[in-house]
Structure formats: C-alpha cells, structure tokens
Chain A
Amino acid sequence: MKQEPQKVITKKGERFIIPIGPQHPALKEPGHFEFAVDGETVTDATVRLGYVHRGIEKGVESRNWVQNLYMLERICGICSHTHAMTYCLGVEKLAAVEVPERAQVIRLIMAELERIHSHMLWLGVAAHEAGFDTLFMYTWRDRETVMDLLELLSGNRVNYSANLLGGVKFDISPEQADKIRQGLAFLAERNTHYLDVVMNDMLLLGRIRGVGVMTREQAEKLGAIGPTARASGVARDVRLDAPYGAYRTFKPKLILETAGDLEARFIVRLREIADSCRLINEALDNLPSGDLTVRMPRRIKEGETISRVEAPRGEAFYFIKSNGSDIPERIKVRTPTICNMGSVLALAKGHQLADMPMILVGIDPCFSCNDRMITLRRSDGEAETWSWGQLREYGIKAYQR
C-alpha cells in the first residue's frame, strides 16, 4: 500500500514576518517595517511610511510666502536650515532678487554648522544602535559644542530661523567668529579621535565592516544620494555639481569611499565633519562686508523654478510655482531619505535580523521629511489634484477609529 506522504509543518510560501514599529526602541521616529525571516536571516523587507504625514505641501498653498518660510523650516528639525534655505533660494530665483554676498556666506556657515551637528548626532545614534553607548555619550557631549555655536548665532538650538526671503536675519560679529573658531578647533580634534575609534575599534568594526555593502552599480540603480551614495563611490554632491549661493566661492571637498559598507558611511560622514570645519573657517576668514538683506516684493512674479541644496543626508529638492500672487500655487518637496529608503529594503535581504537597525540607520533616516502622500489617479478619472476639502475628508475617513 502506498504510504501517505508526511504532513509538512511549514507550508511552502508561508513566511514568518517580524513587524517593527511604529513605536520601537530601535526607531526614534515612527515608521513601520516588516521583515520576513528564515531563521535569523532576513529574506524580504517592506516599509510602511506616513505616520508623520502632516500635509505641509497642501498647507503652504493657503499661507503667504513669508509664513511658509516658518512652516517649511519645520519639515525637519535636524536640517531645518536646509529646508528654509532651499525655499529661499527658489523664491529669490523666481523674484529675480540677488542676495547680498555677506548673507550668502552666513547661510553657508549655518548650513555647514548644521551639517556638523547632524553628522555628530548620526554618529551617536549609529553607535547606540551598534550597542556602543560610550561613543554615543561622547559624541553627544561634544555635539553640545556645535549646538552652543548655533545658539550663540541664532538664539535657538534647533530651528534657527536664520533665513529671510532676501537675506539672513543676523550678523556674525568678530567676537562670535572667534568663538566659532575655538569651537571648531575642539570639534576637529575630537573628530580625529572618532575617526580613529571607527577605523580601529574591533568591537565596532565587527558590527560595521562588510555589513550592508552597496556596490556602486546598486547605488546608482537605487538612486542613492548624499553620504550614502558617496560611501559607495558615487561622486554626487549638489554643492559641487550645481553650486548655489556662497558655494560658488567656497568649494567643499568631494569625499568618496569605495567600500560601500557601513564603515565607509561612518568614514564619509566623519571626513565631512572635518571638511565642514575647514569650510567654515575659510568662510569666516573671508567674510565679505555689506548688507544682510535686500528688499523682497510681497507678490512673487509668475513662474516656476526648482532649487536644490545638499542637505546633511543628501539632496533636498524643491519645486516652486507662483501664479503672481502673495501665495504660492504649488510647492513640491523631495527630501533625501525617501531616495535612500529603497537601498535599505534592497540591502536588508540576506542579512541577520540584528543588523537591521544598523542598516536602517546607515542611511541616516529622517521620517519627518519623508512622509508624503502620492496619488496616481483618482478613481472617478476627473481632476488629478485634490482640493483641501477632499484631502481633509480623506484623512478623516482613512484614520477613523
């Protein structure tokens, strides 16, 4: 008699899925990930974003040009200056206004200080995810130096409000410049120490060397940008490719690594801190004299433009359209995290589950920038744009309890 085949316990095609988020100790911000695992090895990864979607892009269409500056600055609390600067550059381009040179250089100094603060923040968080809390505490202690400098200049630690349409809000006095130089000298010295730790500490290297390797081809195919792409050998930096503002005069160095693993991303970001220190010192030594602002018209000329800025995480991109009134018709924001998120999902496959926080943190994710809504086609085939009322109704319906 033919024997009945033994029942298989796990059916083929059935996967064990580990959900992570939106609230999870490894995530500082809400995002939902689902990792399909085979034992400890991740075989598939998906992400669900949108927990921080607030509807800013629609909101800017009912506020005037000046009010929007403050709203757009609060897209992201880590790269707030970048967002305000990208917006200002675009609007100034539309209004055909030339910003005074001194204001441009002050914008550069703020942007580079912000890069230092963001990269140090990242180094701490990444070290924490690797289980290296000592490094986390040290970097955050030293990060307070740059926070003090930002506070010294702007009066606030996080949302600096340095930009105005047509210039900047505050000046840098010689005394302040000296304080910045002192602070940067300390940071540059600490930075060499951190570079030494990252490249030589065996415990940390065990977590980062050879983990999450993204080849140059992969990086180009996945559309990675910023330090994540530069760690894979993709020479992509908006400050050099399409210089804006004072970056036409003060050139940053292109920092490239070819390994593409997490270690390379650590090294790229740490070298960028050193280069930012150099750039700020150079800018402070050659601070042009002159006004801080020029007069901006209340209504912006009709037209549309794009503006690109190298944020700490990669390229921030704004599309701005004006219809000639004091309110923008459309502002589209694209931030670096959404471009790099694809690489996380691609790289996750084949790694251990324990490496997931490290691979995620390797792109320096910032969910508050990245959660936006996309509609492809409305079901009734009518208009492609959603009105305020429709969006609000949709939001209420979708998230009703």
Chain B
Amino acid sequence: MSTNLVESVIEGLKTWARVNSPWVIHFNSGSCNGCDIEILATITPRYDLERFGIKLQGSPRHADVLICTGPVTRQARERLIRIYEQMPEPKFVIAVGSCALSGGVFDGLYNVAGGIDQVLPVAAYVPGCPPRPEAIIDGVVKLLSSLQQPAPETAPAREQGATQPVYEGEAI
C-alpha cells in the first residue's frame, strides 16, 4: 500500500515536471527551411513558446521532445535515428509540416524515404506547408496535455522494428 502510494506520487511528480518543462530538440532531415524558420519564430517574442516552459535545446541528450521537419532523405535518415537513440526515455517525436507527415511535395523522389513516421514513432503531427507558429504551439501543447492522461497501454511503434531499414530491397 505505502510503496504504491510512494510510486504513484513519484510518477505524478515526474509527469508534472515533464509537462511543465519539456526540452525540445529540432532536426531538419530534408526540409526546405520553411518549417524550420517557423519553429524558430515560435521562440521569438510574438509567439514565445518559452512561456510554456519549453526550451529549444542543442543536445539530444538533454531533450525530451524531437521536433522533425522535412521528408527523410536517405542521407539524413541515419542521423535522425541516431539522434533519436541518443535521447533519454521517455521521448516523443513531433512531425511538423506536410513533408514530415507524408513526404509532401517531395514524395517519391529518388532520395526521399518518406515521412518521419517511416523511420521513427511519431506522437503528434502538425500539418501545413508550413504550419503557422500557432499551429506548432498547438501541436506541442496537445502533446503535453496528452501526457497528463493515464498512459495508453500501447508500446511505442519502435518495438515493432520501425528502425529496420524499411526501404531495403524495396522495388525501384
């Protein structure tokens, strides 16, 4: 009884800390820059993402949330996976922009592997080309509020081998 109580209090504290100050890392895996400058715009005075306690962070080892932009190019793909693997658990991925969702206008180009969810498990999708800063903030806030709900019993998609080279031997 008492150990359960301690555990639940600790869990509650962890969630509280996580939701109130998530650190975010941004990686561009083949984007046109449009989404990247909109993400940068969210930390500037008009939008001010930092009022939610969110900090744009340089190192993946300190980050809780990975914001991805752009389709995954074959050269950046390995890096994207490596950055994700360097992040401490629990970690969440937000795909920002049409290209990150599905490949967008670049879908089917020879060096494009598709959207972010072809490579990493994605927790939140923000559509738009590029999404407005308000939309990006909305996406982040929705992700944070979903963390306050009791965790769903589904394992991250990664366990099912999402990092396996999906494109290996794919028909050309």
A343 interface residue (CB < 8 Å to B): no
What is the CA–CA distance of A325 and B162 in the complex, to the nearest angstrom?
42
Which residues does chain A contribute within 8 Å of B168, judged by CB atoms?
396, 400-401
Which residues does chain A contribute within 8 Å of B30, judged by CB atoms?
51-54, 368
Closest to B103 in A: A54
Contact of A80 with B34 in the complex, beta carbons under 8 Å = yes
Contact of B37 with A121 in the complex, beta carbons under 8 Å = yes
Q: Give the shortest distance, in Å, between B147 (CB) and chain A (any CB).
A: 25
What is the CA–CA distance of A121 and B75 in the complex, to the nearest angstrom?
27
Contact of B32 with A75 in the complex, beta carbons under 8 Å = yes
What is the CA–CA distance of A158 and B69 in the complex, to the nearest angstrom?
15
Interface size class, chain A? 35 or more
Interface string of A49-62 (1 = CB under 8 A from B): 01111111011000
Contact of A368 with B110 in the complex, beta carbons under 8 Å = no
B130 interface residue (CB < 8 Å to A): yes
Which residues does chain B contribute within 8 Å of A401, judged by CB atoms?
78, 165, 168
Contact of B130 with A54 in the complex, beta carbons under 8 Å = no
B148 interface residue (CB < 8 Å to A): no
What is the CA–CA distance of A185 and B34 in the complex, to the nearest angstrom?
26
Q: Give the shortest distance, in Å, between B34 (CB) and chain A (any CB).
A: 3
Q: Give the shortest distance, in Å, between A385 (CB) and chain B (any CB).
A: 14
B115 interface residue (CB < 8 Å to A): no
A16 interface residue (CB < 8 Å to B): no
Contact of A395 with B74 in the complex, beta carbons under 8 Å = yes
Which residues does chain B contribute within 8 Å of A25, judged by CB atoms?
58-59
Closest to B70 in A: A52
Which residues does chain A contribute within 8 Å of B111, judged by CB atoms?
53-55, 391, 395, 399
Give residues of chain A (47-87) contacting chain B, Cβ–Cβ below 8 Å: 50-56, 58-59, 70-71, 74-78, 80
Contact of A76 with B33 in the complex, beta carbons under 8 Å = yes
Which residues does chain B contribute within 8 Å of A56, judged by CB atoms?
106, 109
A389 interface residue (CB < 8 Å to B): yes
Which residues does chain A contribute within 8 Å of B38, judged by CB atoms?
157-158
What is the CA–CA distance of A121 and B44 in the complex, to the nearest angstrom?
11
Interface residues in chain A, defined as those with a beta carbon under 8 Å from any beta carbon in chain B: 22-25, 28-30, 50-56, 58-59, 70-71, 74-78, 80, 121, 124, 136-137, 140-141, 144, 147, 156-159, 366, 368, 388-389, 391-396, 398-401
Q: A29-B36, A395-B111 are in contact. List 12 more A-B contacts (CB 8 A).
A: A23-B27, A25-B58, A30-B76, A51-B30, A52-B28, A58-B109, A74-B32, A76-B32, A78-B33, A137-B44, A366-B33, A391-B110
- Contact sample, A vs B, 30 pairs, CB 8 Å cutoff: A23-B83, A24-B58, A28-B28, A30-B27, A30-B76, A52-B28, A53-B73, A53-B111, A54-B111, A54-B112, A55-B112, A58-B110, A59-B110, A70-B105, A71-B106, A74-B34, A78-B34, A80-B34, A124-B44, A140-B44, A157-B130, A157-B132, A159-B34, A159-B130, A394-B110, A395-B74, A396-B167, A399-B74, A399-B111, A401-B168
Closest 3 CB pairs of A and B: A77-B34, A25-B58, A399-B74
